[in-house]
Structure 1
């Protein structure tokens, strides 16, 4: 199963200048719990936004740079299809960004785990529109803003129809 996982604002904003535009600790915990011990696929810029590889996950980085050096335990490839082919077929694989990789993966994914952040922000990277003809919302869990979360947000799970 291929799952897209992202956090996007009401205007589909993902980030700006290769960084997130909010800090939501509970969303980080959810991301960690869902992706730990799985393969994660990302673009080079997303990978470079991390201070180091995320623990207990196999990283596959999509890049056009043939000589791109990655730490041990990480892999590179030059296309989304090749990245998916590296992943075990019997385990869930996560697409974790960025915007272009999300756009390419919308036709290939089986599930979307989207954290909808209830604000609109300025951004340079956006999540693609979710077409209701292709996706069914199967779960929605609201989280109000609090002392640790600047914005209200909702965990949304979509399954391909």
Structure 2
């Protein structure tokens, strides 16, 4: 039998030292069991500590849910289907919004580039060659830099996937 410390109730938290002491007591009791009994305890423990990932529990668990409440498995599956559909809708929405934002940014960049290039041309037509030439070269260099750096960033994103 397992000896209990009567100073604490079963639902009070134990200190690490108290936990170690109780674990040692349990291990001592398990060591007293026959190999067959020990295997049964281990099987029961392994059975109760199964971990699964994903939206649905294993089929054996769904059967148990149905035994506890009729149609529980159907409701769990329907819930998982709705969650998957909601994730898909959300992902699709996010992709569309991202594409819209990129297009808007490209359009605004194009408008700004036209304005700057137009300003450079206007300065050249007004006889301000140095200012006009500097504006045109600066705008062109900026556009080339953005184009090149955008290409490298795009290839890095693809390489990470």
TM interval, short-chain normalised:
under 0.3
Greater gyration radius: 2
Q: Which has the higher strand share?
A: 1
TM-score, normalised by the number of residues in structure 2: 0.17
- Greater RCO (Cα-Cα under 8 Å, separation 6 or more): 1
TM-score, normalised by the number of residues in structure 1: 0.17
